[in-house]
Amino acid sequence: MTPKLLPCLATLSSVLFVSCYPLPEDRQIRPQRTADESVTAQNQQAIQEQRNRMKERAEQTPTDIGDNPPSQAPRETAAPSTPSKPAEPKRTDYSFANPVPGKEGFVFSPYNNKVVDVRDIPSGTLVQDPTYPAAEKKYFRVP
């Protein structure tokens, strides 16, 4: 009876030892979330409300692009001998960039979804997308 009892005790002790050992942090069981619960639902709603307010302000006070050049435009000095192109028609329906969640002062470009640094630029300001060459002149508004 002793030869059968020894392997059973060894097995029982190893099972008890393993069951008391804590699981790694990423393997622990987490409570299930409901379908309507979202981690960032409040943040997204606040961002959407801010966009709506900015669109209303932009519609109420339209700015003339010729009077206020974009603040993010590249500063290149053109040689006086180069002929300038005729002015393009003025657009007033520029799209707003989308803010990067969790990073103040950074936005996603509305044209290619690349991150653009717009720190210290006031909300609603028209800026040129730096990811495009100056010849294409892609502009957007800071949210």
24-50 pLDDT, tens digit each:
665 555 555 555 555 567 778 888 888
Whether 98 is in a domain gets the answer yes
Whether 99 is in a domain gets the answer yes
Whether 97 is in a domain gets the answer yes
| pLDDT band of 6, cuts 50, 70, 90 | confident
Contacts of 54 (CB under 8 A, 6+ apart): 96, 123, 124, 141, 143
Structural domain total, the chain: 1
Whether 106 is in a domain gets the answer yes
CA distances from 84 to 79, 110, 116, 133, 135 (A): 10, 28, 28, 16, 11
* CA-based nearest residue to 98, from 53, 143, 137: 143
* CA-based nearest residue to 115, from 123, 106, 124: 106
Whether 96 is in a domain gets the answer yes
Per-residue model confidence (pLDDT) at position 85: 56
Whether 21 is in a domain gets the answer no
Whether 43 is in a domain gets the answer no
- Residue 113's domain spans which residues? 91-118
pTM over 0.75: no
| Run of H or E including 19 | helix 2-20
> pLDDT tens digits, residue range 72-124?
555 555 555 555 555 555 666 889 999 999 999 999 999 999 999 999 999 99
Per-residue model confidence (pLDDT) at position 42: 76
Whether 109 is in a domain gets the answer yes
Q: Mean per-residue pLDDT for 13-26? A: 70
- Please state, in angstroms and rounded to a whole number, the distance separating the CA atoms of residues 72 and 106: 13
> pLDDT tens digits, residue range 57-73?
888 765 555 555 555 55
- Please state, in angstroms and rounded to a whole number, the distance separating the CA atoms of residues 22 and 20: 6
- Please state, in angstroms and rounded to a whole number, the distance separating the CA atoms of residues 21 and 133: 59
